[in-house]
Structure 1
Amino acid sequence: MSGMDLPLTGGCLCGAVRFEVAAEPLVAFACCCTECQRASGSAFSMSVLVRKDAFRLVAGEPRRWLRPGPSGKPSAQYSCPTCSARTHAEPGYSDEVVSIRVGALDAARQIAPGAFFWLREAPAWFRPPKDVLAYETNPADLTPVGEAWRAAQAT
């Protein structure tokens, strides 16, 4: 997302919860797992990872709930207590990042995924774009995903 104005801003559907991000995202990805399909009501969900120290709530108090993450550690999920829109999460695999739902960002239209995860659970009709990385489950290492995403953003 080279050249995007910072801070990035976003929030829930009704506007009661708002946040800002002071640094560019580390990576953007789409997840086709069954849970993301249910949570989004679609074939996949999209997220960006940002440094936790760059994320800050500026309005509202989101509702927090815990769910087991793929790592087995609890993942804190946040949503608006009024409209129930999911905005972000603190994934159980890292204390250093926040995962933000791309649809919660005001600049969502400008963000394309660097990879698709959990294709083995994707709807039978879904095919990711040929020029985007694709994984049957979670990648063991996000480094190649971040590198590919940053390279695509620079073009």
Structure 2
Amino acid sequence: MAEAVRVAAALHATNRERGFPLPQPGGCRCGRVRYRVTEAPVFTLACHCTDCQHLSASAFSLGMVVPRGGHVITDGRDALRCWSKTGGSGKESRQFTCAACATWLYTEADSAAAFTIVRPGSLDDHRWFRPIAQIFTRSALPWALKQLQFSYETEFDDPGPIRQAFASSGIRPGA
């Protein structure tokens, strides 16, 4: 865990040096919950797992992985609803939505305890977003598979190469 935090901090510094503009504001559709991303993402991804398909009512979900603490609720904390599920790994995953409009805002997972996965569609400006990796492709709808540099049938063991590729990718707001 300490090593993951150290690596995240080093890559955060790299992303900051490469001009990732912060903070990035966002919120739910009805406006009751507002947040700011205050630390640069470590990487971006698309998840094709069946849980994400159900939660998003779509073929996959999108995620922007930020260091835990780099995502701050600024308004409407009392309007957040948490949905928990224990995955096949035996580890818990918590999805946070607005209780009023059901916008899926972010995820915290025990399997990635040093990070928060922000749902980029809830950013005020999400036009810049694109995933650099995809996971759980074994569950993907065939037409939804992306041609990405990193593609995994399930989860990945070592996020280092994904982090490094994202840091040098140029995927940034305003880019």
TM > 0.5? yes
Distance 2:20 2:168 in 1: 15
Distance 1:51 1:113 in 2: 17
Instruction: Name which of structure 1's ranges 81-90 and 68-77 shifts more when overlaid on structure 2.
Output: 68-77
3-state SS of 2:138 partner: helix
Structure 2 residue 97 is matched with structure 1 residue 92: no
Aligned partner of 2:4 in structure 1 is: none
Aligned partner of 2:95 in structure 1 is: 77
Structure 2 residue 70 is matched with structure 1 residue 54: yes
**Which one of 108, 115, 119 corresponds to residue 101 of structure 1?**
119
Shift of 1:121: 0.7
Normalised TM-score (structure 2)? 0.80
Q: 1:54 to 1:125 in 2, by over 3 A?
A: closer
Aligned partner of 2:150 in structure 1 is: 133
Shift of 1:43: 1.4
3-state SS of 1:109 partner: coil
Shift of 1:38: 1.5
Structure 2 residue 81 is matched with structure 1 residue 63: yes
The size of the alignment, in residue pairs, is 154
**Which one of 45, 49, 55 corresponds to residue 29 of structure 1?**
45
Aligned partner of 2:3 in structure 1 is: none
Structure 1, unmatched stretches of 5+, are none
Counterpart residue type for residue 68 of structure 1? T
Q: 1:115 to 1:94 in 2, by over 3 A?
A: closer
Distance 2:138 2:60 in 1: 12
Aligned partner of 1:153 in structure 2 is: 170
Which residues in structure 2 correspond to 1:32-43 (within 5 Å)?
Answer: 32-43=48-59
Q: Does the 8 Å contact 1:30/1:117 carry over to 2?
A: yes
Question: Deviations along 1:44-89, whole A, 9 cap, x unmatched?
Answer: 1110111112221001121112111353221121100100111011
> Percent identical across equivalent pairs?
34
3-state SS of 2:52 partner: helix
Distance 2:115 2:143 in 1: 32
Structure 2, unmatched stretches of 5+, are 1-14
Q: Tell me the C-alpha RMSD between the 2 structures.
A: 1.8
Aligned partner of 2:36 in structure 1 is: 20
Instruction: Name which of structure 1's ranges 64-73 and 44-53 shifts more when overlaid on structure 2.
Output: 64-73
Distance 1:42 1:87 in 2: 15
Instruction: Name which of structure 1's ranges 139-148 and 68-77 shifts more when overlaid on structure 2.
Output: 68-77
Distance 1:8 1:69 in 2: 30
Q: 1:70 to 1:108 in 2, by over 3 A?
A: farther
Q: Does the 8 Å contact 1:114/1:146 carry over to 2?
A: no
Q: Which has the higher helix share?
A: 2
